[in-house]
Chains A and B, each alone.
Chain A
Amino acid sequence: MKLSLEEVEHIAWLARLELTDEEKNQYADQLSDILDYASRLNELDTDTIPPTARVLDQALRLREDQARPGLPPEKILENAPQTQDEQFKVPPVLGN
């Protein structure tokens, strides 16, 4: 199965990746090869096999829901490219 350029563009959009035309062509070929290779999983009948949810047989434990100190906001904001009033700053989400 060969991925079309349109399919590659759709996946890139879902993944929020801007790709060059060269990258789109390259990924169309390479992802097709990898997915072809992955299709060998269909050799196995897994109708009655449950999917793995966790590798350990231990149940996950719940902890008490207690308030605990977190990192100070100014430390977190130090890594952001743009901030304002102790918040991350982004362009308008809804139309200008």
Chain B
Amino acid sequence: MLNQLTACEAIQGLQQGDFSSCELTRAYISRIETLEPNLHAFITLTLEDALVGAEAADRLLRSKQETTPPLTGLPLAMKDVLCLAGVRCTCGSKILENFIPPYSATTVQRLLDAGIISLGKTNTDEFAMGSSTENSAYGPTHNPWNLDHVPGGSSGGSAAAVAAGLVPAALGTDTGGSVRQPCSFCGTTGIKPTYGRTSRYGLVAYGSSLDTVGVIARNVADTAMLFQYIAGFDSLDATSSQEPVLTYTLPESPDMMGIRIGVPEEYFIPGMQPEVEVAVKIAIQHMESLGARAVPIHLPHTEYALPVYYLIAPAEASANLARYDGVRFGPRLGEGEDLWELFSRTRGELFGSEVKRRIMLGTYALSTGYYDAYYAKAQKVRTLIKADFTEAFQQVDMIAAPVAPSTAFKFGEHADDPLAMYLEDVFTLPANLAGIPALAFPVGYDKLDLPIGMQLMGPHFSEKLLFRLGHAYQLTTDWHTRWPNKKDDYYWEELV
């Protein structure tokens, strides 16, 4: 089955001529045609264009020129908040339902330059605001492990597509956990990079001081390989970092000798699903068996990350989303009214309820009389959260924690309670607020056979070490190799 290859295996097969890009692309298209009606991982599919691209890739591969780009012929997908020139970019919103970007995001362009073929744009919560894809105006994505459960969000379409083998890997974005939490819920691997390590140009802005572009794949090796292409300085993004990009090659032996792994007490809280706590602690023990040393640590301001994030991100969003007003993009409602009516009606009718809720919250936090009490206060506490990590990284090389307090929840579980939905992000928000990188990967399954994810968080620009440790874990475990619908041995039953 070609669609079950890893991205690294697929590239090797293409280059060796074991199969053609057309054969590989058709394998994914056939899988998409079978499963997409049940999963709804994509908002827009571009399968015909993909086949045209695959034919061109095959001509290039057959020519055996040294200048053939390294990823020539590899099908991928990207979250529908990243612009791909000429293909509509909806951001999961009705307000952009007919927006065709005239340019590509830098991260997308770098992958195109490396030779990839796009299969389509994956589903997302509207403007990446959500933890389940239930906020997509185009309908939710279903979790491949159990269709009654959400895939996580907001990059739920990318994670579900990778988990189900519709694509070997996909781009996602992470503002408050939107790469890691869907990886945790779908059993995939994903990197949320250091802020500024990947360009935000062409990523439709949500929370500009938090937004990052990451990779979602089936394992750490594929994640690191693809991340190599998207990482790096971009003059088109004012906050892009000029820090040199390291070579993310991975060692062949699973060595963690001498690595100090911090285990923060604040990430193991009452009320979390016991299986998640057990699986993450067993994974940490496994890392100790590879030579790492687990060190109990404290990140005392962890509990404040949630209120800080839900003031700062909505405040930034309220400014960023001011541009959707029926003038330059999308449909226009309230024609014949005055300009203010036109703005308000277009925005009021075409934004979904979560987006409006966050715009309202952010507008309030920035408004006269409340700015100091909410927005400025949140930015000060953000300094304390950042300082927690700086201090911790003087004692440890890396911090290990669960990605989410539970495995994938059911549709509608948090429908009427936004605060309960926000609590899903409690373990992922701190890394965004501090701008540090984090790698998420599966470390077990619960009794319903739903994946459990763990994250390793490191200091700024420590992606190489994160990949090394995650890879060492995956060289010696097989959680990441499982496919949905193989109901064989239950992890939980083995434990108890």
Contacts and interface: CB of A to CB of B under 8 A. Distances in A.
A79 B83 CA distance: 14
B311 interface: yes
A79 B329 contact: yes
A30 B354 CA distance: 11
Contacts, number: 165
A52 B379 contact: yes
Contacts of B384: 44, 46, 49
Given A8-B360, A54-B239, A71-B103, A44 B381 contact: yes
Interface string B314-358: 000010001001111111100011111111110111010100110
Contacts of A63: 235
B377 A34 contact: no
Contacts of A11: 360, 363-364, 367
B109 to A, nearest CB: 14
Interface string A8-25: 100111111111000100
B289 interface: no
B99 interface: yes
B383 to A, nearest CB: 5
26 contacts: A12-B360, A15-B363, A16-B343, A17-B347, A17-B356, A17-B359, A18-B344, A30-B357, A30-B418, A35-B361, A41-B307, A41-B377, A52-B433, A55-B433, A56-B195, A56-B460, A58-B196, A58-B242, A60-B238, A60-B239, A71-B102, A78-B100, A81-B326, A91-B337, A91-B338, A92-B339
B243 interface: yes
A48 B342 CA distance: 45
B114 interface: no
Using C-beta atoms within 8 Å of the partner chain, give the interface range for chain A: 35 or more
A58 B243 contact: yes
A90 B377 contact: no
B495 interface: no
Contacts of B332: 81-82
A58 B241 contact: yes
**Secondary structure dominating the interface of B:** helix
B328 A51 contact: no
B168 interface: no
A69 to B, nearest CB: 12
A35 B367 CA distance: 14
A11 B322 CA distance: 14
Across the A-B interface, give the 7 residue pairs with the lowest CB-CB distance, nearest first: A55-B435, A18-B348, A51-B379, A81-B332, A46-B380, A18-B344, A75-B102
Contacts of B345: 18
B419 interface: yes
Nearest to A80: B328
A44 to B, nearest CB: 6
